[in-house]
């Protein structure tokens, strides 16, 4: 029986022997949550970022006549992916705005070329690559590529990656007697909250604010791991990889600010009605 993605993230984090693999498990669980009908036995990667960025106007990759052309400059886990989920432009709407779609490409298909990028200073096990598409056969997924997939993915990813990372911190720490009961209790509370958030609307400002609070509080678990209790190689790896938790901090701060703005606007509209 297929596990719910949040549960899968917890299991994969629990059995991981390092934070990088816990991240990979959470990332794949997030993709399965975003695309509940996809085959979970196949690895996948979301291909959105281009040379000009990841906002809608930056997307030059195109989809036409069942094929995709263009280049994605930074794709997480692209080298290990069997399916590439590509944000592409399919013409324009009547107002002249790009019509964005998400298409699925078999990574082994003709017209796909992946180039591995240099490893990051932390979690170097997680490979990144640029991907070039030259007439690669692709299948269009239903819905809007930006609004239905890429925009909500950051929230979905944050939920599932933090679930997996917290499970890793607790399980790994307990294997070495490196976490005390109060830290485990805090982690369990956060895991419970994240599991609930995984069922909520990822575009809701309430979801964004609750997630921000949980992520802030997760620092107590990360800092609560007694590094001196870990074997030397694992201690060094943990110290190296904990920088992962600071990635995308600016984007999260912007998401939090927008959530407060949306709530304030909604309250003002309600008061005026």
pLDDT tens, the chain, 273 aa long: 678 999 999 999 999 999 999 999 999 999 999 999 999 999 999 999 999 999 999 999 999 999 999 999 999 999 999 999 999 999 888 887 889 999 999 999 999 999 999 999 999 999 999 999 999 999 999 999 999 999 999 999 999 999 999 999 999 999 999 999 999 999 999 999 999 999 999 999 999 999 999 999 998 999 999 999 999 999 999 999 999 988 888 899 999 999 999 998 988 888 887
- Indicate the residue among 140, 159, 190 that finishes a domain: 140
Residue 91, CB-side half-sphere exposure with 13 Å CA sphere: 5
Q: Is 130 inside any structural domain? A: yes
Would you state the pLDDT for residue 273?
74
85 contacts 104 by C-beta, under 8 angstroms: yes
- Residues 262 and 160 both lie in one domain: yes
* 129 and 210 belong to one structural domain: no
Clarify whether residues 156 and 174 are in a common domain. yes
CB atoms under 10 Å from CB of 92, counted, come to 10
Residue 51 lies in a domain: yes
Assigned domain for 199 exists: yes
Asked whether residue 15 is assigned to any structural domain, the reply reads no
Residue 191 domain boundaries: 147-272
- Both 183 and 239 in a single domain? yes
Residue 47 lies in a domain: yes
Last residue of a domain, one of 140, 160, 176: 140
State the first-to-last Cα distance of the chain, in angstroms, to the nearest integer. 49
Q: Which residues pair with 104 in a beta bridge?
A: 85, 139
Task: Let me know whether 91 and 108 are in one domain.
Answer: yes
CATH number at residue 56: 2.40.110.10
Number of domains in the chain: 2
What tokens were used for 78? 């692209």
Domain identity same for 160 and 104? no
Q: Which residue has the tokens 């003002």?
A: 268
- Per-residue confidence (pLDDT) for residue 270, from 0 to 100: 80
Same domain, 57 and 106: yes
Q: Is residue 5 part of a domain?
A: no
Residues 87 and 107 in one domain: yes
* Same domain flag for 153 and 267: yes
Verify that 255 and 165 share a domain, yes or no. Answer: yes
One domain, residues 168 and 119:
no
181 and 123, same structural domain?
no
In a domain, 244, yes or no: yes
Q: 240-249 burial string, b = 16+ CB within 10 Å, else e?
A: bbbebbeeee
Q: Give the domain-ending residue among 104, 123, 140.
A: 140
Confidence at residue 1, expressed as pLDDT on a 0 to 100 scale: 60
């Amino acid at each position: 029986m297929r596990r719910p993605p949040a549960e899968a993230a917890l299991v994969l984090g629990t059995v991981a022997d390092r934070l990088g693999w816990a991240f990979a498990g959470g990332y794949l669980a997030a993709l399965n949550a975003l695309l509940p009908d996809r085959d979970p036995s196949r690895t996948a990667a979301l291909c959105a970022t281009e040379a000009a960025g990841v906002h809608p106007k930056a997307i030059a990759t195109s989809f036409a006549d069942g094929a995709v052309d263009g280049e994605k400059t930074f794709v997480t886990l692209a080298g290990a992916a069997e399916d590439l989920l590509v944000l592409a432009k399919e013409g324009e709407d009547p107002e002249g705005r790009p019509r964005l779609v998400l298409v699925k490409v078999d990574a082994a298909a003709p017209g796909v070329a992946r180039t591995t990028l240099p490893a990051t200073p932390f979690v170097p096990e997680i490979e990144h690559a640029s991907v070039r598409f030259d007439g690669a056969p692709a299948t269009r997924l239903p819905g809007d590529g930006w609004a239905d997939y890429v925009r909500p993915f950051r929230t979905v990813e944050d939920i599932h990656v933090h679930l997996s990372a917290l499970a890793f911190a607790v399980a790994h720490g307990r294997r070495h007697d490196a976490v005390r009961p109060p830290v485990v209790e805090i982690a369990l509370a956060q895991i419970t909250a994240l599991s609930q958030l995984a069922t909520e609307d990822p575009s809701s400002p309430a979801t964004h604010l609750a997630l921000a609070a949980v992520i802030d509080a997760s620092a107590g678990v990360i800092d609560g791991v007694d590094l001196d209790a870990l074997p030397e190689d694992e201690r060094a790896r943990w110290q190296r990889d904990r920088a992962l938790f600071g990635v995308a901090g600016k984007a999260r701060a912007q998401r939090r600010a927008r959530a407060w703005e949306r709530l304030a606007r909604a309250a003002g509209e309600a008061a005026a009605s």
